[in-house]
Each structure stands twice: as structure tokens, then as C-alpha cells.
Amino acid sequence: MARTVIEPFRIKSVEPIRWTTRQEREDLLRAAHFNLFLLPAEDVLIDLLTDSGTGAMSTKQWAAIMEGDESYAGSKSYDHFRDSIQDIFGYRHVIPAHQGRAAERILFGVMCKKGDVVPNNTHFDTTRANVEFVGAEAVDLVIAEGKQPSLVHPFKGNMDVAALENLIQKVGRERIPLVMLTVTNNSGGGQPVSMENVRQVSEICQRHRIPLYFDACRFAENAYFIKLREPGFGSKSPKQIAQEMFRYGDGCTMSAKKDGMANIGGFLCTNNDLLAQQEKNLLILTEGYPTYGGLAGRDLEAIAVGIQEALHEDYLQYRIASTAYLGNHISENGVPIVQPPGGHAVYIDARAFLPHIPPDQFPGVALANELYLEGGIRSVEIGTLMFGAAARMDLVRLAIPRRVYTQSHIDYVVETILEVFKKRDQIQGLHLAYEAPFLRHFTARLEPMAHAAVNHR
């Protein structure tokens, strides 16, 4: 019999989490204008808002932090950081940045100009915003299977290579300064990209002399999915798989807040000497000197250790198993989710969960709020509030912080979701009371529809 996959660590330091009553949560949610972003984190019992920067560090990382060299220039912590990254990624230049979006801003600032086009399997929202900020167009080319929530496919993050060829024919290679692949595809459900797809995309890029960059945030989870699902990779280590994948590219952006296992940090890599020089010049302007790039020496040390730990096979086995555990348990009980469960998160299909709430009444927000009221769980809407009427789906993402919650926490989350599922007919939609001109989901204020009816009387 297969044994239970256990957490491959024991707990040395604990952080209490705080219970609230249903009445308190009702008051807190009202005070937060029915927007979970506006809630004080200490009033959340289990926080699944994001897996970014929320992980627990290991004893080795904390020990490395004490070794942090805080020298302004030439810090030895930078050498540790660069060597550890080069060992996995293999790129010639490693440029630290305070987080992923800082690396994106510098990359697109140097490589793109107005009128350019950047293809990606699916741009994450900060990636898209940084492409558009320099006047270029961000185009998403994920395969058709990647757009159907209930469809099971092993590599739903793959890029549609025929669509990439067509785009290059249509706009011309001069207008495409780079192609990007996001591993795993966060906006598409945390779904992986296969090595075969990486090879095909790389071959097309080489033929047209277009550089290929990875948005590498969750590269270790992607490598493990390749090991599990792609023929020929079962006996390779996640590190060997990651090394192979990065050889097909020319560079990457990375948020070390994900598979860097750190609470802050990121980096930019490239094999191009000229670009690296330009990137460092921009870096000095806003991030800092190229041996620290907006990070403390201790942060560089934590990342140097964390990025290797993210590739440990027992960790990845537990990581992918615990996300699947949550996804499969709720799915077996009828809850509609994006199939199969992703690496870092489970995405509930809120339109299918709450068919009586039309998209313009924010079914994803309604469901996320109900999970908080029922059990003190915080999740995030990825749908009409985030993207406006253009949203193709209304999803609720349950992102799992790395090495933070145990199986009983996840059991509690499953129970809460199933309780809410039983009462789904009673859940109401919401309407907007205030919205900012851009990125409105962070600060929006909402009201339940019933209140609106009362107010109109």
C-alpha cells in the first residue's frame, strides 16, 4: 500500500494563528468593504491569498542569513547568490532585483519599445503591465486546452506553437524582441509547460533569431511535473530537468518569493553581454548596485540556499501532493475546479459553483468572502473584479504557502469549502461602491446586492 506523503520537515518555531467568531468575521468583512485585500492579516485563520513571499524558511536558510555580507559593493553574499543560480540556470549574467516585477521592468525597459509585440503562454498581470508600460503589446498564446477549466491535460501551460509561427509571420520578427514562457503558468491555473513544448518554442525562436526568456517563478514545480508526466524524464532529478529546460533559453526573470523560498527578492538573467550592461545601468538607477540590486546581503544568502531546496525531491513530492490533495478532495465532492490541480494553487470555478450569480455581480468575490465568513480562510478572486468585463473566467485561487500549513490545516480548508458548497444557493452577488482607475481589485469597495436593494428603497 502506498504510504501517506508526509511533510518532509519538523517544526522548530511556531507562529500562532487567531480564531475569530462568525459574528466578528461579519463585522470585519463589512469594515473591509467586502474586499479581502482590505482585511488585517491577523484576522485571517488560514491565509491562501498568495504563495508569494509567504513561505517558511529552513534552518539552513536562517543560518545563511547570519552569514550575510552587507558590503555595498563586492559582497561575498552576491557570489553565493550568483553561483547557486548559475548552477541551476546556467546563464552568464545574474542581476539581483527586489522582486520579480523589478526584473520585468528592467528587462522590458531594455529590450522593448513602442509598437513591439511580446508573446507569452500567459502573461502574469505585472508582466503584462510592464510590457504595456513601454508601449509594447502583450499577447497570450496558451494552447486551446489551457482555456477550458474542466478539461484534464498534463501540460495545460504549453504555448500554441502554430499560433506563435503565425504571429511571427504576421507582425514580422523585427517587432518581436523576445518570446516568454511562464513556468508554471500562474494565470492559467498553475499549469506546467512540457520539455517538448520548450524545445519546439526554442526551435522556432532560433530559426527567427528571437531570444527566448523564461518567467521562472515556479520553475522547480514545473520541473517536477515534467518528471511525473513527461515520458523519458522519470529517472532524472528535478535539478537536471530544470538545467535542461533553461539551456533552451537565453535568460529569465525570477521572483524568488516563489520557488526561491524567500520572503523577498528576485533576479534577471541573460547570456547577452550588451544587454547585461544596459540592464545594470538601469538597475543602478532604481534598484541598487549590481551586487545587491535592492536586497540585503542576508536576502541574497536566503535565496542562494532556498533555490536549491526548492529542487529537493522529497520537498517537491510533498508540495505537489498537498496541492493535489486539496484539489482532489473538493473535486470528488462536486466542487468545480480547474483540472488538474496546479503546482502552487487550486482554482475553484466560481461561475460553475454559483451559477445563479452573473459575472457582473462578482461570483468569485462572493465565494471568496463566504469562505472567509465560514472558516476564516482568505483566498483571492481572479475574475471580473480583477480584469473587468474582459475576464473569461471567474476563479477563486487557493494558493498554498510553501512549508507553512500541515495536512490538518488543509483538511480544515476542505471541510470549510464543502460546507459553503452545501449552502451555495443562499450566496448573493455584490456590486461595486468604489473602484480605482487601474488595478481596482486591490482597493475596491463592494456591497452585497441585498444591501443595494435596501438602499434603493
Residue 366 cell numbers, joined? 462572493
Considering only 68, 266, 327, 448, the residue that binds ligand F0G (CB under 6 A) is: 266
Question: Is the four-CA dihedral 361, 377, 153, 253 of positive or negative sign?
Answer: positive
Q: Which residues ranging from 29 to 68 are in contact with ligand F0G (CB under 6 A)?
A: 50, 52
Q: Contact between 416 and ligand F0G (CB under 6 A)?
A: no
Q: Which is nearer to ligand F0G, 319 or 427 (CB)?
A: 319
Please tell me the count of residues contacting ligand F0G according to CB under 6 A: 15
Reduced to 3 states (helix: H, G, I; strand: E, B; else coil), residue 338 is coil
Considering only 20, 86, 126, 407, the residue that binds ligand F0G (CB under 6 A) is: 126
Residue 92 cell numbers, joined? 552568464
Q: Which is nearer to ligand F0G, 69 or 221 (CB)?
A: 221
**Whole-angstrom distance, CA of residue 439 vs CA of residue 261:** 27
Q: Which is nearer to ligand F0G, 101 or 329 (CB)?
A: 101
Name the helix (H) or strand (E) containing 322: helix 313-332
Give residues with Cβ within 8 angstroms of 176, minimum separation 6: 116, 117, 118, 119, 167, 168, 208, 210
Residue 56 Cβ vs ligand F0G, minimum distance, rounded to whole Å: 17
| Buried-state track 352-371, b at ≥16 Cβ within 10 A, e below 16 | ebbeebebebbbbbbbbbbb
Considering only 58, 75, 121, 127, the residue that binds ligand F0G (CB under 6 A) is: 127
Q: Which is nearer to ligand F0G, 58 or 186 (CB)?
A: 186
Q: Which residues ranging from 356 to 415 are in contact with ligand F0G (CB under 6 A)?
A: none
Residue 146 Cβ vs ligand F0G, minimum distance, rounded to whole Å: 14
- 440 by Cβ neighbours in 10 Å (0-12 / 13-18 / 19+) ranks as middle
Q: Which residues ranging from 101 to 120 are in contact with ligand F0G (CB under 6 A)?
A: 101
Question: Is the four-CA dihedral 330, 332, 334, 340 of positive or negative sign?
Answer: positive
Q: Which is nearer to ligand F0G, 34 or 124 (CB)?
A: 124
Considering only 43, 69, 140, 215, the residue that binds ligand F0G (CB under 6 A) is: 215
Name the helix (H) or strand (E) containing 452: helix 449-456
Region binding ligand F0G by CB under 6 A among candidate stretches 98-106, 220-228, 309-317, 408-416: 98-106
DSSP states along 126-141: HHHHHHHHTT-EEEE-
Q: Which is nearer to ligand F0G, 49 or 65 (CB)?
A: 49
Query: What CA–CA distances, in Å, run from 78 to 97, 104, 294?
Result: 12, 20, 12
Q: Which residues ranging from 182 to 201 are in contact with ligand F0G (CB under 6 A)?
A: 182, 186
Binding site for ligand F0G (CB under 6 A): 50, 52, 99-101, 124, 126-127, 182, 186, 215, 217, 255, 257, 266
